[in-house]
């Protein structure tokens, strides 16, 4: 886990940022050092925005950090995310690193700009992002929702329903899930096997085959 002094600083920082920008600003702290992707949130302010609370699971950025190593993940500034109930958030993700450069924590800011986007012409400069994304990333409430979203994305990448997928299509979908860190989620293999109609042995075979390609 993060050491006590670092956690205390992040807790104070989260509270200060949330108080500064008001109830439309969610601030969340993830502990990556515990290696427990099922409950990475250790502090959250204005959690009503995304519906999350302390003890809830990771975001895509957390899985990316847990799967990667030193220098493989970078801070993600001013991008768009979407909550399950449709709110659009302007988000920033900053990684906290140890002396060796490995990410051990994550500090996230999510500002609800839903109403502002309705007045986009007048507030265009405020809502502008550093990169033009076609589709905002989703913020999941728990690991089960996150896994469902990743599976749905894998199907979208293949471009056809599971019933019509060939072996090569399923290997491609499994490769996406492996690369996004889906299999770091507890019991994700069982859910993926059931969804694609394959055995555990076949799943591991597809993962190996995807690595080779």
Residue 170's pLDDT is 93
Query: What are the structural domains, with CATH classification, of the chain?
Result: 4-140 (3.30.450.40), 146-212 (no CATH)
Q: What is the pLDDT of residue 132?
A: 54
In this predicted structure, what is the pLDDT of residue 151?
A: 93
Q: Of 151, 157, 162, nearest to 198 (Cα)?
A: 162
pLDDT at position 91, please?
94
> How much of the chain exceeds pLDDT 70, in percent?
85
Percent of the chain with pLDDT over 90: 46
What pLDDT does residue 71 have?
57
pLDDT at 59: 75
Here the tokens at position 109 are 């800011």
Q: What is the pLDDT of residue 134?
A: 55
Question: What is the structure's pLDDT at 116?
Answer: 80
Q: Which residues of the chain have pLDDT under 70?
A: 1, 35, 37, 65-66, 68-72, 120-136, 213
Host H or E run for residue 205: helix 200-212
- Please list the alpha-helical segments (H only) found in 54-184: 60-67, 114-118, 124-127, 143-158, 167-179
Report pLDDT for 144. Answer: 83
Tell me what pLDDT residue 133 has: 55
CA 115 to chain centre: 24
């Amino acid at each position: 886990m993060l050491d006590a002094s670092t956690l205390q600083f992040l807790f104070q920082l989260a509270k200060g940022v949330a108080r500064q920008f008001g109830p439309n600003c969610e601030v969340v702290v993830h502990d990556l050092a515990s290696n427990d992707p099922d409950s990475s949130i250790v502090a959250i302010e204005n959690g009503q925005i995304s519906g999350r609370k302390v003890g809830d699971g990771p975001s895509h950025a957390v899985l990316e950090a847990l799967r990667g190593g030193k220098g493989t993940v970078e801070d993600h500034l001013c991008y768009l995310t979407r909550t399950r109930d449709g709110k659009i958030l302007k988000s920033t993700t900053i990684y906290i690193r140890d002396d060796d450069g490995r990410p051990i924590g994550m500090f996230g800011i999510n500002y609800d700009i839903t109403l502002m986007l309705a007045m986009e012409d007048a507030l265009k400069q405020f809502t502008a992002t550093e990169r033009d994304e076609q589709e905002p990333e989703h913020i999941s409430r728990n690991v089960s929702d996150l896994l469902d979203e990743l599976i749905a994305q894998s199907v979208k990448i293949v471009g056809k329903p599971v019933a019509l997928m060939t072996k090569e299509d399923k290997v491609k979908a499994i490769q996406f899930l492996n690369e996004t860190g889906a299999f770091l989620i507890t019991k994700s293999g069982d859910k993926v096997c059931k969804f694609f109609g394959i055995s555990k042995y076949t799943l591991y075979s597809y993962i190996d085959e995807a690595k080779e390609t």
